[in-house]
Amino acid sequence: MENNITISPTTISFITTNKCSAACKNCCYGCSPQKKDRLSLGEMKDYIDQALDVYSTIKLLVLTGGECFTLGKDLNSIIKYGGERGLKVRVVTNAYWATTFEKAYSRLKGLVEVGLSELNISTGDDHQEWVPYDNIVCAIMSSLEQNIATAVNVETNSISEFNSKKLKEDYRLSEYFEKYKDKLIIIENVWMPFKVSTNNKLKDSLSNNTKEIPTCLKNRCVNLFSTITINPFNKMIACCGLTAEYTSYLNLGNAKKYSIKQLYEHQFDDFMKIWLYTEGPKKILDFIHEKSNTEYFDTSNWHLCQICAEIFQKEQNIEILQKYSSEIFTNVMLKYTLIRES
């Protein structure tokens, strides 16, 4: 469809590989050492070129996985290429390579020299079954000492045992917290369980949970329309949430068959995505209940992506939305085009 309602992306992100040094039981992509799918260096360079040719708004390259450090020298090469193309470059890692401070410093030094801007480290209960906590400490110290912006993302939910307290109280890090205030951020991010056993435990705990922020404060899905994300199968996906990988509606298509521009802009032909971006899944789920005369159920402790998945999992929901969307079409489109300007 010819229109000018697109929102230009600011980030290009590669889920470079589903190979990982770990095999976390709740990994949303099911990554493990046995998996071998990956983007080649040539493919990643091509996608960067295509994206930058069309969208000058892109300023950041994110390299994640799986474990992007398993790419070896290709990781250095793609960081270098991104830097040369004027992008800031972030890598997301579990820090398995940071077995000692010296090794961590040396590995990072090679990346910093070719243009690495930011290190994101993922850790938490599941990750630490595979990657020792001390690796996280070594990675943080070696990154900060090279003046790299460092984010530690602690997987957490109400039944997590590990939390950021340990990091905060670690005597090895106290000086770094003080000295590198402007470079370090630690975030507790919701980590939803993927396996039945963990999921059931969490469900039990949710009834007494007060820590999660209520869904009523989480409205729009702003993960949409900000990033070009390409997975190891050369498929572009609409967002970074797990929902995207298991919902065909959020799979934007094959980047080997269509251009980056075609795939990215095709999603704006989907009113559903514009609706999600503008009003969020909660309102859409409420709309489905209203139109189908089905009973509302409590989603107050649900993550935004859970609500989204709930919508997409049932084909009859999509049918209802298709049938009744004309009722709110103009309202949503007008709101979308207005807030797009903010």
Partner 1 sequence: MLKVNKHVTRVVAGAVSAGVLMPSCIPAGNYDDLLYIQDQQKRDLGQLAIPMQINLNSSQAAYIGFIQKLSEDIIKYPVIAKQFYNNPKSFMERYGYKGDINMDDDLLKLIIALGDDDINRAVKLGDAGLFIDLCSEKGLLNNRTELYASLRNQFDKQLSDLGLDLPPAEELQAGVALVLIITVLVVVAIVFTVTATETSMNVSGDGEQYAKNNMKQYITENNPVLYMWFMKQKGNDSFLLVDEYTERQVDGLILEIKGRNPKYFEKNSEMDFRNMLKLNAIMTK
Nearest one of 142, 139, 123 to 24, comparing CA atoms: 123
- Taking the complex as a whole, how short is the minimal distance between the CB of residue 102 and partner 1, in angstroms? 25
Distance CA 156, CA 188 (A): 6
Task: Kindly tell me which of 260 and 308 has the beta carbon lying closer to partner 1.
Answer: 308
Can you read off the two tokens belonging to residue 123? 């850790």
- Taking the complex as a whole, how short is the minimal distance between the CB of residue 259 and partner 1, in angstroms? 12
Task: Kindly tell me which of 106 and 211 has the beta carbon lying closer to partner 1.
Answer: 211
By residue count, the chain amounts to: 342
Task: Kindly tell me which of 138 and 228 has the beta carbon lying closer to partner 1.
Answer: 228
- Taking the complex as a whole, how short is the minimal distance between the CB of residue 98 and partner 1, in angstroms? 18
- Taking the complex as a whole, how short is the minimal distance between the CB of residue 338 and partner 1, in angstroms? 5
- Taking the complex as a whole, how short is the minimal distance between the CB of residue 290 and partner 1, in angstroms? 13
Task: Kindly tell me which of 59 and 100 has the beta carbon lying closer to partner 1.
Answer: 59
SS3 176: helix
Distance CA 167, CA 170 (A): 5
**Residue 270, C-beta contacts closer than 8 angstroms, at least 6 positions apart:** 249
Instruction: Tell me the CA distances in angstroms from 4 to 8, 122, 282, 304, one per residue in order.
Output: 11, 38, 27, 28
Give 112's Cβ-side CA count (13 Å radius).
17
Task: Kindly tell me which of 137 and 151 has the beta carbon lying closer to partner 1.
Answer: 151
